[in-house]
Structure 1
């Protein structure tokens, strides 16, 4: 399974990556410190770069999670069946939960820190 983790916080990247590897060491995990870097890879490498799951932080500089989702919108018809996006956030703001439901590409919103039970459920789907 190919997984992208997009988060500007190195500690969050480390924890999420290691939790995923703990559940199944066969995962191919790529980490990105910005949505821009992940988007470039998706746009330039086409189908070869498409992951099964994207874990996306909302609050990042330059391109936040919402901007990343907007940038993916034109690609939605060709990618919506290919992968699932889960928003990872430390925000408890109810408006973030409501806004995440406006994006067909978003499969769910998970509050940080990611838990072992969450990973097991998401990866098994």
Structure 2
């Protein structure tokens, strides 16, 4: 019998509290997904060398490199999955830039509403 593979979703946020909240809320939805959490973009990029990631949910405010630099590096790797921005950034230019970038599926502000979370995790 063939085993159905869970959708692989990576969450990049340097705030561990956000990881805990995100995992708890996602678990309550009982979706058939595999969530992996990363605090540093470099760690996620290394993980992707040996793991297939279908969806990435990234903050823009990261310590080791900006979220925009991470996105630039990510697309240079040939990533063809879905990318969502979930951030506390209130800078209008961030939203505008995300909307212009066709490879970004959505821009969401923290805290995520339940409907936004469902929309991201089921996309």
Q: Tell me which interval the TM-score lies in, with the shorter structure as reference length.
A: 0.7 to 0.9
Residues 11-66 of structure 1: CA distance to partner in whole angstroms, max 9, x if unpaired?
11111122112112532110001111101111x21xxx222221101001112211
Partner of 2:59: 57
Partner of 2:37: 31
Q: Of Structure 1 and Structure 2, which has the larger fraction of its residues in helix?
A: 1
Confirm or deny that 1:18 pairs with 2:19.
no
Moved over 4 A (4+): none
Residues 59-116 of structure 1: CA distance to partner in whole angstroms, max 9, x if unpaired?
011122111111122234xx32xx2111011112110001113433211100001221
Aligned residues: 117
Q: Give secondary structure in 2 for the equivalent of 1:113.
A: coil
- Which blocks of at least 5 consecutive residues in structure 1 are unaligned? none
RMSD: 1.6
Q: Is the 8 A contact 1:21 1:27 kept in 2?
A: no
TM-score where L is the length of structure 2: 0.85
The higher radius of gyration belongs to 2
2:102 & 2:87 partners in 1: Cα distance?
Answer: 18
1:69 & 1:94 partners in 2: Cα distance?
Answer: 18
- Which blocks of at least 5 consecutive residues in structure 2 are unaligned? 1-6
Q: Is the 8 A contact 2:57 2:84 kept in 1?
A: yes
Confirm or deny that 1:3 pairs with 2:9.
yes
